[in-house]
Chain A
């Protein structure tokens, strides 16, 4: 197993994502600098949270042009697993690798708090049976208000692409959508932070279950080995 965590200028949850996999799950994990054009051998690519390029334009709008994103797209097209967390989710949406867009929170303010999330049935790996009906994960973002057009939403629902919904919507997201996957089921994105929910003293350790669920899409044995 080999986890690759991307680093953009302005990534600031890169260490958090790294530790979720390295110390939380005990898996070999490494960083990949945004100027790289290849990913090397990777079983999962994590696009971490932060403020890539400062997010002064639209979140993720510049990061998607980083050299490494070409490699990520190619990797995903071949079926490779990708997980975008927070800013990483925004980048994947901007890159067109996930449907929808994230706009400013309806409060127009940043929100840092812990949310109760309803787990949706999003396939064999990610569903209430593998994760439980509810999980608790922290959020920390100013632009997490998920939007998609009617036709897009209908497709999300028909294909079981919605991963998580907020129980108490903190940002105005359409139908409380907190995370989605692509149609093929190998690219995942979510605003909540599994990388802030894996240590004893965190608000929960549900981040470990989320990380395992994503990995188990390709590596079903992961759930057994690290549980």
Chain B
């Protein structure tokens, strides 16, 4: 049924009838198409069909995950009038904002660019960084740090090396040029990410409370401006592309990958912040990210309870002859939509002229509640804005517990007749674990990122958390940030695995001397239409939500990336957690590296006992099985409370949590700092039914600290009072030896030898060719 309100489009392409094939090609279900017809009162135009397809894609609508995400706490119970209040909540805007006192706030968010990076690693990763930076400054905040969370297949395969090289170069290209330091990150290499790498990028910015801007179109007749780069045909339909599985044909989707221009972004940051500093000028602002002009217009209209009308002939275009479908769906980068106060057009135009950027008056705010788009004098789209946003479909998907869990969760080393390690085996295992790319030094990666620009970086990448000094007006504050998620645990026990991601992230922050504040998360999963995948998603979200409530860490924003599958299957569920913590005083900043010989080494949390899901089990025995390690929130809280108190009391010289690779990897990493030190440990007093589990098991809630010998007894006593197991296991030494006494005999390594293998692993692998 044609709609009377729309004149036929003289362009035959745009005027073509909508067939079921065309609907299917746009990734819409027949029932969804019927809903579209009801919203419109007739058949959509081709441009409208394209608009619905991107807005109703998972990437923009969260149609399969919205009900689950409601379980996350969005407020901080322990917030005070002066600190910790959530000022902009998750889902309200492009990024959440939290009060950090003295009238200042931080905005931060993580977002994925997985599919583009799989196809075109350099541009995919680069534009991922660009997109998340825009999400931050569109809120009115100045971007001050970046982090990223990366997952690849095993580095043994040439295709992985090509992806790693491209992704790292892309992040470096964008972040370095735009001048925001990349201060932390995490990288895992596991077969499940073969062909479907994960590239999650986080940005954090600072702003005054009164500088908070929203993506809202209000005020009848207020002009709508398009600022930044011109629109081209790149990135057509990127949001829909991100909402399907990768296949052999995905390479032909390359036009759906955008090309970034960090120089343009840098100008856009400065121009936008300058414009937003003009009192009362900006009514609303939103970046054109996924779904470009489409998303920014209908979302601002919907949030403002208003309508918006735009004229595409006024949109700066990179090439001639683009039709309305292409312009509306283009994902060209470095563009923003700005609504300003009527009558103040000259003020915005002057700011952008200074920066030599486009500022084009493309339309105005209406009171119709509709998004109306014109091109060459013809209405090409006329849609109720809320139909694209609040009234997008929502689904409750079917969840089914995957059958493999029966086998893996019941696994025991005894049942598997797994022999325990002898001394020779233990000796070799540590060297092999340290050289595995997941554990090995990430210097090959981090030295390509500018992690020092803006001169505020206190702890550079390589310790448990990145630490940055924020200059807020005349005062300064120190924050720590860490990203965590072990997908293997989430595969073996989705609920617990997600909780481990959270408690480990908290532990990393506490090890750096910080009090955790708030979180952003990136949920990376496979196809939600597969009940087993949806089960993983549902369980992970439930687990995270429980942990967030227990530890009073609100989720202030995040991102969902589904359909992370290659022909080999789905990725391990990867709900990446990023938490920001506050450090009260610079004196509390703590690193993971031992600082002087003679320091006592204390293991907090007790002896590790579990092997399930460990790197050791995977690397040495070729098994991805067992249950994920246990999580005990109360014990974790006691441990972290104790550790923070001891750090504040000035007793902790270094702190490093036990994670991948367990106790001996932790001890080694403690020695891989700027000083050349050894250690002598005696583990005989620790209960160890199995040597492998003691040395390499990944039981949670453990931290290794070094303290001045005079403080050791005080720390152990404080731990006893707090109900935290504490074992003095040895001391830092001046030599090059790591000596570990066990009930089965004494192990010894050369620290420099271990370090050489740890340091050269990724660099050595990257000297070999990658293909693509």
Evaluate contact between B177 and A113: CB separation under 8 angstroms.
Answer: no
Q: Is B261 an interface residue (CB 8 A)?
A: yes
Within 8 Å of chain A (Cβ to Cβ): is B736?
A: no
**B455 contacts A196, CB within 8 Å?**
yes
* Residues of chain A in range 41-58 having any CB-CB distance to chain B below 8 Å: 49-51, 53-56
B261 & A16 in contact (Cβ 8 Å cutoff): no
In the complex, the answer to whether A110 meets B178 with C-beta atoms within 8 Å is no
CA distance A142 to B178 in the complex (A): 14
- In-complex Cβ contact of B450 among A140, A195, A199, A202 (8 A): A140
Nearest chain A CB to B447's CB is how many angstroms away?
5
Q: How far is the CA of A53 from the CA of B589 in the complex (A)?
A: 37
- List B residues 248-294 near A (Cβ within 8 Å): 261-264, 266-267
Min CB distance, A145 to chain B, in Å? Answer: 16
Bound: A79/B94 CA distance, A? 51
Selected from B451, B453, B469, the residue in CB contact (under 8 A) with A13 is B453
Q: Is A111 touching B447 in the complex (CB atoms < 8 A)?
A: yes
- Choose among B262, B355, B586 the residue that contacts A51 (Cβ–Cβ < 8 A): B262
Interface 0/1 of B332-376, CB less than 8 Å to A: 000000000000000000000001100000000000000000000
Q: Report B-chain residues with C-beta under 8 Å of the C-beta of A112.
A: 176, 446-452
Choose from B177, B449, B586 the contact partner of A54 (Cβ within 8 Å): B177
Q: B590 → chain A, closest Cβ, in Å? A: 13
Considering only residues 104-154 of chain B, those with a C-beta below 8 Å from chain A are: none
How far, in whole Å, are A54 and B356 apart by their CA atoms in the complex? Answer: 14
Contact A56 B263 (CB under 8 A): yes
Bitwise interface map of A from 134 to 151 toward B, beta carbon under 8 Å scored 1, else 0? 000010101000000000
Contact, CB under 8 Å: B266 / A16? no
B448 in contact with A54 (CB, 8 Å): no
CB distance from B394 to the nearest CB of A (A): 42
Q: Which residues in A have their C-beta under 8 angstroms from that of B169?
A: 109
Check: B454 CB closer than 8 A to any chain A CB: yes
Q: A54-B263, A199-B455 are in contact. Are A13 and B179 (CB under 8 A)?
A: yes
Within 8 A of A (CB), among B159-177: 169, 172, 176-177
Docked Cα-Cα span, A55 to B356, in Å, equals 16
Contacts of A140 in B (CB 8 A): 176, 450, 452-453
Verify if A169 is at the interface (C-beta below 8 Å from B). no
A51-B266, A111-B447 are contacts. A195–B177 as well, Cβ < 8 Å?
A: no
Residues in A with CB closer than 8 Å to B446 are 112
Selected contact of A9 from candidates B261, B355, B453, B454, CB within 8 Å: B355
* B residues near A49, Cβ cutoff 8 Å: 453
Which among A15, A55, A199 is the interface contact of B177 at CB below 8 angstroms?
A55
The answer to whether A109 and B266 touch (CB under 8 A), given A10-B177, A140-B176, A200-B586, is no
Interface string of A101-119 (1 = CB under 8 A from B): 0000000011111000000
CB-based contact A201/B458 at 8 Å? yes
Task: Flag A159-203 by CB within 8 Å of B: 1 or 0 each.
Answer: 000000000000000000000000000000000010110111110
For A200, the chain B residues whose CB sits under 8 A away are: 586
Please determine whether A9 and B455 come into contact, CB atoms closer than 8 angstroms: no
Number of A-B contacts (CB under 8 A): 80
Question: Which B residues from 438 to 494 make CB contacts under 8 A with A?
Answer: 446-455, 458, 469
Query: Are B448 and A10 touching (Cβ within 8 A)?
Result: no
- Interfacial chain B residues near A12, Cβ < 8 Å: 177-179, 266, 453
A216 at the interface (CB under 8 A from B): no
Taking CB atoms, residues of chain A closer than 8 Å to B264 are 54
C-alpha gap A198/B172 in the complex (Å): 25
* Chain A neighbourhood of B450, CB < 8 A: 110, 112, 140
In the bound assembly, the distance between CA atoms of A49 and B181 in angstroms comes to: 14
**In the complex, which residue of chain B has the Cβ closest to the Cβ of A50?**
B179
On chain B, the residues within 8 Å of A201 by CB distance are 458, 469, 586, 589
Give A26-51 as 1s and 0s: 1 = Cβ < 8 Å from B's Cβ atoms.
00000000000000000000000111
Q: Which residue of chain A has the shortest Cβ distance to B182 in the bound complex?
A: A112
Q: Which residue of B lies closest to A9 (CB)?
A: B267
What 1/0 flags go to A48-76 for Cβ under 8 Å of B?
01110111100000000000000000000
Contact residues in A for B266 (Cβ distance below 8 Å): 9-10, 12, 51
**A112 CA to B453 CA, complexed, in Å:** 10
Cβ of A19 under 8 Å from chain B = yes
Q: B472: shortest Cβ distance to chain A, in Å?
A: 14
Q: Complex: how many Å from CA A15 to CA B269?
A: 15
> Among the listed B176, B179, B451, B455, which residue makes an inter-chain contact with A195, where contact means beta carbons less than 8 Å apart?
B455
Q: How far is the CB of B726 from chain A (nearest CB, A)?
A: 30
Tell me the complex Cα distance, A219–B262, Å. Answer: 39
Q: How far is it, in angstroms, between the C-alpha of A50 and the C-alpha of B469 when the chains are bound?
A: 21
Type the 1/0 row for B409-452, where 1 means its CB is closer than 8 Å to any CB of A.
00000000000000000000000000000000000001111111
Cα of A140 to Cα of B449 in the assembled complex, Å: 8
- How long is the Cα–Cα vector from A10 to B454 in the complex, in angstroms? 14
Give the contacting residue for B469; candidates A110, A193, A199; CB below 8 A. A199
Bound Cα distance from A116 to B269, whole angstroms: 34
13 additional A-B pairs beyond A110-B448, A111-B447, A196-B453, beta carbons within 8 Å, are A9-B266, A9-B355, A10-B263, A12-B453, A16-B453, A16-B454, A51-B263, A54-B261, A54-B263, A112-B447, A113-B447, A140-B452, A199-B469
Can you report 30 residue pairs joining A to B where beta carbons are below 8 Å apart?
Answer: A12-B177, A12-B178, A12-B453, A13-B179, A13-B453, A15-B454, A16-B453, A51-B176, A51-B179, A53-B263, A54-B177, A54-B261, A54-B263, A55-B177, A55-B263, A56-B263, A110-B449, A112-B176, A112-B449, A112-B450, A140-B176, A140-B453, A142-B176, A195-B455, A196-B455, A199-B455, A201-B469, A201-B586, A201-B589, A202-B455
**Hey, which bits of chain A sit against chain B, CB under 8 A?**
9-10, 12-13, 15-16, 19, 49-51, 53-56, 109-113, 138, 140, 142, 193, 195-196, 198-202
3 closest A-B pairs (Cβ-Cβ)?
A: A12-B179, A54-B263, A51-B177
